[in-house]
Chain A
Amino acid sequence: MENYKLTNEGKKYLENGLPEKNLLNILKNGPIEFQNAKEKIENFSIAIQWVKKKKLVEIKNGKLFLIKNIDIEEQKCLEDLEKGKHVNEDILNNLIERKLVEKISHDVEKLEKSITNKLIENLTPDLIATGLWKKAKGFASYEKNFSSNKKIFQGKLQPYRQVINNIRQKFLGLGFTETSGPYIESEFWNFDTSFIPQNHPARIEMHDTFNIKSKNNAKNSNKMLLERVKATHESGWITGSKGWGKWNPSISKNLILRTQTTAVSNRTMSKLKNKDLPYKMFTIGRVFRKDVIDSSHLIDFDQLEFIIVADDLNFEHLLGYLKEIGKMLDAEEVRFKPSFFPFTEPSLEIYVKIKNHGWLEVGGAGIMRPEVTIPLGIEKPVLAGGIGLGRLAMIKIGISDVRDIYSENIEWLRNKSLIK
């Protein structure tokens, strides 16, 4: 029997005797107290289990009585196995089950031959389990393989997502609540509530705007808001404005792909209650512009927009937040320049100085016009700003063509390191 060998436990029993054999030896001299036997015999529970199974011992009134004294075949079997003799298969299986004996595979022997006094190329589970690694001369050095270039592909976030996530985390950290809105908007929410006149070029000529083919127009469920917006456009309503003149409710129902995220701010403001104040909100989402796609223009891209609503906010506070946001975007310096947006006044553009890139315009901001806020039911000042994520992302990612934001090259994505 060359294919089996004793386990460590098996070797112990070969030397000290199996527990059941030791128990029988004691009982040969007469019955003994259960408790007494338990103290004398190592692994008593194993001994009891086997003598009961073989009906050699009986327990009566707390004492153990020998029924039959036989030689324990398993003990002999252990001895024979150690000597390499042939043994009874049933007993052998019993010992294997008791984890006192284990099979030696031919492979292991081969392994032993193959490894002895040689260098180990691959460290395998067998070498570890059998300890055969000790018989080897040592381990082959891999130094010669260090220059190998085989790639593995890791799962990763797209670089642009990493930029967006970083900015998103920062806004959450500044106490802004995240919101979102639909891509398909009515002109009412996209333009009218932002006080953009109905004859604005973006509207009358579908200049920058994608219109939706639809049999149905938008519903406007908020009649009161509709009336207020209409009155504000036509004559300023109670906002103190002159208004733009005629306003046509049917134009406001046209469905379009939103051109700005302002609709999200406006929808949010329309639902804002006094108890929600002070309130800071931001949204990051796709907007759509009819344009020619080239190295600096996409037709759908992401905008970040934020508003702050609280008592007594003023222009200096707006600049304060923008400075803070500029720093958050890793700007070395932040400057402001007058600008124009239909929905804010005063309006400004934000310029940030980015290391190794110089000045970059990153967005616009302002105080929301009363013609926007009052119809939405907001009487407090509202600071608002928008950041174009495209150009910032391009700098962070290190690309010069905006189309690469939506990279279609798997090799580039695989090789790109993570964004700091």
Chain B
Amino acid sequence: MPNIIYKKSELKKMIGNKISDKELLEIITLVKPNIENIKEDNILIEHTADRPDLFGIEGFSRAIKNYLGYTKGLKKYSTRKPKFSIKINKVPIRPYVSCVIIRNIKMSEDFLKNVINIQEILNNSLGRKRTIAAIGIHDLDKIIGKISYAGVLRNEKMLPLEYSDEIELKKILNNIEKGKEFGKIIKNAKFWPVFKDEKGIISFPPIINSERTKITKETKNFFIEITGLNKKIIKQIMNILVTNFSDRKFILESIKLKFEKKSEITPDLSQEIIEVEINNVNKILGTNLSGKEIINLLRRMGYDGINNNGKLEIIIPCYRVDILHPIDIIEDVAIAYGYNNFKPKIPNISTIGNYLKIEKISEMATNSIIGFGFQEIIKSCLSNKKDQFEKMNLPESNIIEIKNPISSEYNCVRKYLIPGIMKFLSLNKHYEYPQNIFEIGDVVVEDKTNENKSRNERRIAGVICYNKAGFMEMKNIVKSLMNSLDVEYKIKLSNNPSYIQGRGVDMYIDKKYCGTFGEIHPQILNNWEINMPVVSFEIILERIN
């Protein structure tokens, strides 16, 4: 999940400078994030997706301070009463809105970078690349008159960020980088969402803000708007942002949103309460903690709570977005307790392990074929139609194809093992022969009767490759292999175009096809640029009982 770079010195300053480097790094991993690397003053942190409240340096340092005990328990966040109201018209493509004003900002170049950075990170993570929610931050003092939110037609004009001329909204989608990237989110709607002041459009969410209300090093007050499809997520993003700003001692001022029939004041920093039973905490963690001890541990994670006859009422800080279930609180008890302070135990339960039958058969087949001097190879299960069919002279047949492959080399799931082995041979032409190799593994075949319209099939395949490789040698090997597996089979001349006609056979167990072997046709050897005779076999191990 998000990898974010922090300045170690800045982080330490926000924590209170009492902490050593070593202690800082240790605490970070105890809280949850991973330290990816450290270069001079920069620490690259990998955060987990459940804790977007830690992405910003304010929330990150807050959690560390709590864990260290520098601050403890629930932090209270409050807002000033609204002075502004915004008219919110219906915009079906982006119906939900939350707004706030931030005053008394202590601006600096670092902080400005910081704000733009966290905005982008939250847009990408919680906002799912702006689809579900997107943040717009403006210089409040550059806004003229009343603000409103409305849907407008695509030929309206605005002055987009970093531009000097007004442009039609539809041209923003077609010509400007951000428009091309995020335009698909609103493209099909008739009315597109905008915030306007009395001079025109200040924001075109989720695409771009206006140059006119851009935040700069001189900005003293913010107007922040968050729009999107999911009210809950918009609230989460808002609360993470404003609690971060509040931690910097900036002033939060609510805004009254006036909808057609009702009004609403944002942000909503109310705290939820969740009930957690002491018994349940101890049962899950294997501990013997009292209610008081649990609450004390949770205070180090930023919560507060009261003990109500064995039931703990835990107050969740408004920036925590990951608490769905009491179990999530219990994890935080465990984190505060310290994972490495638990006493690992093995419970007194007895079970008998059992292997899969197909693995046993695979092991038998492997042992047998190794007895003939074959070297095992292991390959990716992904392949392509050219290797699977064309280069093997096979007519194309049903195969599992990938809708979004990373390359044409790996755009389907293999159906046969032999093509992979041929490829291996073609890559090893300069090494000594004979090259007798085999692979054992799963292929995937279409199967309409199955829940997933396909099934895995375990196969073993191998080749003999040297100047005298021939049908009879392989016939004897296959015979011994099948004898080792204790199965009777019959062979029939094969029409498989991969073989020289008359030198390939199909194998049957109880009249059911179970495999094939034969001399590979020289045309196929030319296709793979292998200048040595090859005789191959491929057997479906599921057919062997």
Contact = CB atoms under 8 A, between A and B. Distances in A.
Interface string B272-301: 000000000001111100000000000000
A348 B413 contact: no
Contacts of A321: 346
Contacts of B424: 408, 410
Given A156-B370, A183-B456, A340-B50, A205 B129 contact: yes
B121 to A, nearest CB: 13
A398 interface: no
Nearest to B131: A204
Nearest to B379: A406
Contacts of B328: 345
B327 interface: yes
Contact of A316 (B343, B355, B402, B453): B343
A156 B128 CA distance: 49
B404 interface: yes
Contacts of A160: 378
A114 to B, nearest CB: 32
B353 A410 contact: no
**Residue with the highest number of chain A CB atoms closer than 10 Å, among B132, B352, B359, B451:** B451
Contacts of B42: none
A221 B453 CA distance: 13
Interface stretch (B25-33, B79-87, B111-119): B25-33
A93 B347 CA distance: 82
B331 interface: yes
Given A316-B344, A338-B31, A175 B403 contact: no
A413 interface: yes
A158 B453 CA distance: 32
B129 to A, nearest CB: 7
Given A177-B353, A183-B442, A204-B131, A155 B371 contact: yes
A206 B403 CA distance: 10
A4 interface: no
Q: Which of B283, B376, B401 has the most CB of A within 10 A?
A: B376
A346 B325 contact: no
A176 B356 CA distance: 11
Contacts of B283: 312, 314
Contacts of B423: 408
A230 interface: no
A154 B377 CA distance: 13
A175 B352 contact: yes
A335 B339 CA distance: 8
Given A324-B346, A346-B331, A184 B400 contact: yes
A379 to B, nearest CB: 13
Contacts of B450: 182
A174 B403 contact: no
A370 B325 contact: yes
Contacts of A239: 325
B367 to A, nearest CB: 9
Interface in B304-360: 324-328, 330-331, 334-335, 339-340, 342-347, 349-356, 358-359
Interface centre among A179, A218, A220, A338 (most CB of B within 10 A): A338
A385 interface: no
A210 B404 contact: yes
Interface stretch (A18-26, A43-51, A55-63, A278-286): A278-286
Nearest to A172: B353
B36 to A, nearest CB: 12
Contact of B325 (A177, A242, A308): A242
A380 B344 CA distance: 20
> How would you classify the secondary structure of chain B's contact residues: helix, strand, loop or mixed?
loop
Contacts of A286: 381, 442
Interface stretch (B235-243, B260-268, B427-435, B500-508): B427-435
Nearest to B444: A183
B286 A370 contact: no
B339 A405 contact: no
B453 A214 contact: yes
A388 B370 CA distance: 27
A243 B406 CA distance: 34
B453 A216 contact: yes
A134 B394 CA distance: 63
Nearest to B50: A340
Interface in B386-421: 400-406, 410, 413
A410 B431 contact: yes
B378 A158 contact: yes
A367 interface: yes
Given A151-B432, A199-B132, A317-B346, A338 B354 contact: no
A310 B451 CA distance: 29
A405 B344 contact: no
A216 B450 CA distance: 11
A133 interface: no
Given A182-B455, A183-B413, A236 B325 contact: yes
B351 A338 contact: no
A249 B352 CA distance: 38
Contact of A204 (B51, B128, B376): B128
B427 A408 contact: yes
A59 B227 CA distance: 122
Interface string B121-163: 0000000110110000000000000000000000000000000
B374 interface: yes
A320 to B, nearest CB: 4
A157 B366 contact: yes
B364 interface: no
Interface string A346-366: 111100000000000000000
Contacts of B347: 310, 312-313, 317, 320
A288 B403 CA distance: 14
Nearest to A292: B406
B527 interface: no
A3 to B, nearest CB: 37
Given A314-B283, A314-B284, A161 B349 contact: no
B49 A340 contact: yes
Tell me which of B48, B345, B352 has the highest count of chain A C-beta atoms within 10 A of its own C-beta.
Answer: B345
A155 B369 contact: yes
A206 B286 CA distance: 39
B451 A220 contact: yes
A85 to B, nearest CB: 49
A176 B371 CA distance: 30
A242 B29 CA distance: 28
Contacts of B353: 171-178, 280
Contacts of A245: 230, 232
Contacts of A171: 353
Interface string B433-464: 01111000010100010111111100000000
Interface string A201-234: 1001110001111101011110000000000000
A299 interface: yes
B324 A242 contact: yes
Contacts of A179: 356
Contact of B380 (A182, A336, A406): A406
B375 interface: yes
Contacts of A201: 128
B402 A210 contact: yes
A339 B351 contact: no
20 contacts: A153-B373, A155-B374, A155-B436, A156-B370, A180-B358, A182-B444, A182-B450, A184-B400, A184-B444, A236-B324, A257-B402, A257-B413, A290-B404, A314-B285, A323-B344, A345-B331, A371-B325, A406-B380, A408-B377, A409-B427
User: 10 closest pairs, A vs B, by CB?
Assistant: A316-B286, A340-B48, A314-B286, A319-B344, A346-B331, A155-B370, A175-B351, A172-B353, A320-B344, A211-B403
Interface of A: 151, 153-158, 160-161, 168, 171-180, 182-186, 199, 201, 204-206, 210-214, 216, 218-221, 236, 239-245, 255, 257, 278-280, 286, 288, 290-293, 298-300, 308, 310, 312-317, 319-324, 335-340, 345-349, 367, 369-371, 381, 405-411, 413-414
Given A214-B400, A345-B327, 5 more contacts: A177-B351, A204-B131, A315-B342, A316-B285, A406-B378
